[in-house]
Structure formats: C-alpha cells, structure tokens
Amino acid sequence: MGPVIEAQGLSYEYPDGTTAIRNVDTTVERGERVAVVGANGSGKSTLQLALGGLIDPSTGSVRYFGETTDAEAVRERLGVLLQDPDDYLFNATVREDIEYGPAQLGVPRDVAERRVDRLADQLGLLDLLDRPPFRLSGGEKQRAAVASVFAFDPNVLLLDEPFGAVDPQYRERILDLVTDHEGTFLLFTPSLDMVPEVAERVILVGQNGSIVADRSVREVLTDSSLLVENGLRPPAPVEMFEGVLDRDELPLTVSEARRYLLKREQ
C-alpha cells in the first residue's frame, strides 16, 4: 500500500487573479476509489490539473507514489482525462489518437493494436477509427478520449466528468472500464448519480475552492444540507426516501431503492 498522491497546501491562482483552489491537503492511498464533487466553478478541474501535474500550483506541492514531486517522472502512471475531449484528439484519425499514448510509452505495436481494438469494441468506436476526430459527435468524442486514456493502461486514473455527454449504454461501458480498473482512481464530477457506483470516498469541494468534507460516500451523499449549501443536490433515491427511512438506511442508487421496495412488499 502507501500513498499514490499526497497534496499539501495546494492553491492555484489563474493569471487573471481568480483563485480556483485554496489550501488543499489530501492523501489518496493506493487502490482508493475517490469522487471529487462540487458545483460548477468550485475548482474540480483545476484541482485535477494540479494533482495530475499539468499546472504548477501557486503554493504547495504534490508528491507521487511517495517518491517524487516531479509529475513528469511518473507521467506514464497517471491517466488524466481532461474535461474537454478536444484537448486529446489532435491526430488525423481516431485510431492514431488512441494509439498515441501507448506509442509514446514504447508499448510494442501488436500489444497496442490489440488494446486499441478491444477498447474500440467496448466503446463502440470500431466504425469510427479511420475518421478524423473532429468529425465525431460530442458523445463519440468523449468515448474516444476515454479510450485514449485507458489505452496506455495507467496506474492512477484522474477522470474529469467521463460520463458527461455519453448515452446510457456507453455510460455503462465506461463504468465497467472504471470498475474493472485495478489501480487507484479519482473521478471529478458535479453530478452525484454515478458516485455510489464507482467510489467509496467523497471529497466535496466548496464554492471557494477548498475542501469542505472528505468522508465516506454514504456520509456525504445522505447529508442533504451540506450538499445544498455547496450548490449540489442529493441523488434522487436519497431525496425520495429522506424523512421516510433512517439516514443509515437511505438507498443511494435506484437499484438499492428497488430492493428496499420489493423487500417491503413481501
């Protein structure tokens, strides 16, 4: 075990003076599944960039794998999916975009091709591989960007809203990729619906860019007033059963709510 990411006193101020994250201290252990949630503009994407070593923090530092504060030294172990898929897709074809990461890392060509074919199949991209990425729909672009991150088989995933534009069928496929991933992951999202399916720990970023809670999924997702104060809303099953069930019995997902109702009917 041991920490994968240790952030200390992390702040980031954009050149125009906007302070996006403030004094963030957090440690993510190997194998942890963490959701970083917060309202629009709370600083999730900026925190992702800082934790992924893609921006230099204004204050503080990030240590990786207990080894180094130089993200470039561990770049091939960090799978950073940025919020905007256009930031990934810059090659002539979708296939080249997905092959880019493995090629950079010197993965043998036949291994890389097998990975690309498997990911393309899983994410419904087989018929799109020879197209230029700018000729894809929004959801297709997002699936291609997800494929390009998984293609180099990173150890730690930092995924910024991977489900956003994706339809329910492919949301399930991405969910499978994420839950099958054996390493550590951080999911950055303003929507709480997928959180209980993928994470065990939730870091809630407040509207001024500092961490206001860092607890279990159940503790955060059933605390409606905390969520509302911070510009979020509990998942629908929690809202539905709040006041009906005790807090520690509230269903977090639709399938938990169904199970509860079916059991009650018996």
Ligand X SMILES: Nc1ncnc2c1ncn2[C@@H]1O[C@H](COP(=O)(O)OP(=O)(O)OP(=O)(O)O)[C@@H](O)[C@H]1O
List interacting residues with Mg ion (CB under 5 A).
Answer: 44-45, 83
The residue among 20 and 178 lying less far from ligand X, judged by its C-beta, is: 20
Give least dist CB 96 to ligand X, A: 28
What is the bridge-based pairing of β-strands 201-205 and 211-216?
antiparallel
Give least dist CB 2 to Mg ion, A: 29
Six token digits for residue 39 = 């309202």
* Given 190, 240, 247, 256, the residue binding ligand X (CB under 6 A): 190
The residue among 13 and 219 lying less far from ligand X, judged by its C-beta, is: 13
Residues 77-91 as b/e (b if ≥16 CB within 10 A, e otherwise) read bbbbbbbebeebbee
Nearest to 82 by CA among 50, 106, 58, 122: 50
Give least dist CB 20 to ligand X, A: 4
| Contact status, residue 123 vs residue 149, Cβ threshold 8 Å | no
The residue among 50 and 78 lying less far from ligand X, judged by its C-beta, is: 50
Contact of residue 20 among Mg ion, ligand X, none (CB under 5-8 Å per partner type): ligand X
Number of residues that bind ligand X (CB under 6 A): 14
- Does 216 participate in binding ligand X (rule CB under 6 A)? no
The residue among 9 and 66 lying less far from ligand X, judged by its C-beta, is: 9
* Given 18, 137, 191, 255, the residue binding ligand X (CB under 6 A): 18
Give least dist CB 44 to ligand X, A: 4
Q: Rounded to whole angstroms, how far apart are CA atoms 193 and 263?
A: 23
Give, for 65, the enclosing helix (H) or strand (E). none
Within residues 31-70, the interface with ligand X by CB under 6 A covers 38, 40-46
Give least dist CB 40 to ligand X, A: 3
Contact of residue 110 among ligand X, Mg ion, none (CB under 5-8 Å per partner type): none
In sequence order, which residues have a C-beta less than 8 Å from that of residue 199 and are 6 or more positions away?
33, 34, 35, 187, 217
Question: Helix/strand/coil (H, E, C) string of 100-143?
Answer: HHHHHCCCCHHHHHHHHHHHHHHCCCHHHCCCCHHHCCHHHHHH
Nearest to 24 by CA among 203, 215, 219: 203
The residue among 142 and 222 lying less far from Mg ion, judged by its C-beta, is: 142
Give least dist CB 231 to ligand X, A: 10
- ∠ CA 161-47-97 to the nearest 5 degrees? 50
Q: Rounded to whole angstroms, how far apart are CA atoms 88 and 98?
A: 9
- Does 142 participate in binding ligand X (rule CB under 6 A)? no
Exposed, middle or buried: residue 168 (CB in 10 Å: 0-12, 13-18, 19+)? Answer: exposed
The residue among 229 and 249 lying less far from ligand X, judged by its C-beta, is: 229
- Does 83 participate in binding ligand X (rule CB under 6 A)? yes
The residue among 112 and 187 lying less far from Mg ion, judged by its C-beta, is: 187
Which residues of the shown chain bind ligand X in the complex (CB under 6 A)? 14, 16, 18, 20, 38, 40-46, 83, 190
